[in-house]
Chains A and B, each alone.
Chain A
Amino acid sequence: MSKQVVEKLKSNFGTLVLSDAEYRGETTVTVERSEIVKICTFLRDDCGYNFLSDLCGVDYLGRTPRFEVVYNMYNLTDKTRLRVKVLVDEQSPCVDTVSGVWSTANWHERECWDLMGISFNNHPDLRRILMPADWVGFPLRKDYPLQGPDREPYQGRLS
């Protein structure tokens, strides 16, 4: 089933689909960042992925581009999952918002901005959500120390 979706995406968007992978029975498609809204709308309307389970950012420090934004979506009709990713570079970490496609993306994107520092263009309400409003820095980035900024590293056992 998900193979067909990948084929469908490729035939409709051609080179905008950068790669696809299969791991432990889960399909991941990496697509071009600039067209994410168009691709998500297509997936929702023409492929039935009407439920966005989760959206999050991953920091691959040392890799270029550094960040990934991951969309885990679900098809409520045929009960299949699909994972879509976009690559986001360090210089301008931003993606167009998909909150117009699934309203549930609103808070997920706020969280991603709050903790990972990836901003979302045209987002209706991009504020910090878990951290205090005046917080400086993005805690889930790999170069953000676990004990917080300007503090001695914890001397005890961490793992």
Chain B
Amino acid sequence: MATETMTINMGPQHPSTHGVLQLILELDGEIVVKATPHIGFLHRGTEKLSEYRTYHQVIPLTDRLDYLAPMSNNLGYVLAVEKLLGITDLIPARANNIRVIMAELTRLKSHLVWLATHALDIGAMTVFLYAFREREEIVDIYEKVSGARMTSNYFRVGGLSDDLPDGLEAIIRKFAEDMTGHLETYEGLLTGNKIWQKRTMDVGYISGQDAIDIGLSGAALRGSGVDWDLRRDAPYCNYDEYDFEVPVRTEGDTFARYKVRLDEMRQSIRIILQGLDKLKPGPILADCPQVCLPAKKDVVNTIEGLIHHFKIVTEGFKPEAGEVYVGIEAPKGELGYYLVSDGSAKPYRMKVRPPSFVNLQALPQMVEGVLLADVIATIGTLDIVLGEIDR
């Protein structure tokens, strides 16, 4: 009997592709022979735009890369600019402390969306509602600190745009303490669930060696037994002062990555609570007037403050010519910024290393020979977001 393969199109308007991802799938019956991802539908030219803006004006652009984890994007960018300027050591302790708390809340926020949509794709609808309920609380915290629910634009080169509002510490602490129980709820619905196990165990397997070769990072790499976390191995924002563990599993399948991410959320809660305990009053901006905006009260009350503000806003600051690469542990993996300065007030070149872009590249080899339904599970487990893939 003659058989032939069939080519079908999936996306870019498909709810389980998590954005505008198009996959061309070659199928032999229900088995995937070949998968070819097509990306770029959301390309907005962030890197090109950044060459026409001052260093501070680029921060809002970074919000829109991984829009599920805007503060992590802000953080990677400001750390790169600070390194370029050589002011990394001048960042006040309170600013670093708040950055860590917000970065970990962002990790929870991103992982909650991952869990919700991943479970929904596979058919577990209840988790979606629970996870979005908790995410809503983080979005509210975002709104309280930055005024925006999604595009926060909260971090600044040299520190933060504003201090935490009164009473927010208690809200964050309450949320973090409750979150442990919520995680139990999710696990109760999924971990021991036979259907969940059938859909995730031995699905989307990738070995540690292959994962390194293809450039996987973050939880996707740690699910394949590679013990690597930039927060521990190249600490930034004083992460070395926090006590946390890096969860690693060796199975390399979708279930392993699910467990790694859930354990990571528990560690994030630990870090947030430690961060709140460490929080002490102090400045939130570095003492470098040539880079940082003056305090608002000086701008409205003194002529010197107004001139200072005006100069920074209109002219920006000019790092000396040079280049740096800074990688941080974003929720989805290693988020890198490669910045080149030519001594002017605008970045000469900004290259973003988006973790989702590289992680998605592993999809074709992970789905080869599996069932069509497992493609959905594999896209979910890679935790991609098209905003940063297409930039």
Contact = CB atoms under 8 A, between A and B. Distances in A.
Contact of A83 (B52, B325, B391): B325
A107 B361 contact: yes
B67 to A, nearest CB: 17
B233 A102 contact: no
A108 B389 CA distance: 11
B349 A53 contact: no
A129 interface: yes
Interface in B204-254: 212-215, 226, 228, 233-234
A23 B54 CA distance: 22
Interface string B183-198: 0000000000000000
A6 interface: no
A48 to B, nearest CB: 11
A130 B370 CA distance: 27
A52 B215 contact: yes
Interface residues of A, number: 36
A52 B48 CA distance: 23
A56 B338 contact: yes
A5 interface: no
- Interface size on B, as a range, is 35 or more
Contacts of B327: 53, 74, 81
Nearest to B47: A140
A119 interface: no
Interface string A144-158: 001000000000001
B338 A54 contact: yes
A131 B40 CA distance: 6
A131 B48 CA distance: 13
A51 B348 CA distance: 26
B43 A131 contact: yes
B361 A130 contact: no
Nearest to B346: A159
A108 B357 CA distance: 9
A150 B65 CA distance: 28
B390 A72 contact: no
A76 to B, nearest CB: 6
B contact patch SS: mixed
Given A54-B351, A107-B357, A159-B346, A26 B325 contact: yes
B338 A70 contact: yes
B35 interface: no
Contact of A146 (B49, B215, B234): B49
Contacts of A23: 322-324
B119 to A, nearest CB: 28
A53 B334 contact: yes
A58 interface: yes
B233 A79 contact: yes
Contacts of A28: 323
Contacts of B40: 128-132
Given A58-B349, A131-B40, A104 B361 contact: yes
A3 interface: no
Contacts of A53: 215, 325, 327, 334, 336, 353
A130 B340 contact: no
Contacts of A56: 338, 349, 351
A35 to B, nearest CB: 22
Interface string A124-147: 000011111000000110000010
Contact of A24 (B49, B83, B338): B83
A132 B391 CA distance: 14
Interface string A104-122: 1011100000010000000
B318 interface: no
Contact of B325 (A72, A115, A139): A72
B282 interface: no
B39 A129 contact: yes
Contacts of B45: 139
A54 B48 contact: no
B126 interface: no
Interface of A: 23-24, 26, 28, 50-54, 56, 58-59, 70, 72, 74, 76, 79, 81, 83, 102-104, 106-108, 115, 128-132, 139-140, 146, 158-159
29 contacts: A24-B322, A26-B324, A51-B212, A51-B215, A53-B215, A54-B338, A54-B351, A58-B340, A72-B338, A72-B353, A74-B327, A76-B228, A81-B325, A83-B323, A83-B325, A102-B213, A103-B213, A103-B215, A103-B361, A104-B213, A104-B215, A115-B47, A130-B40, A131-B43, A132-B40, A146-B49, A146-B52, A158-B52, A159-B52
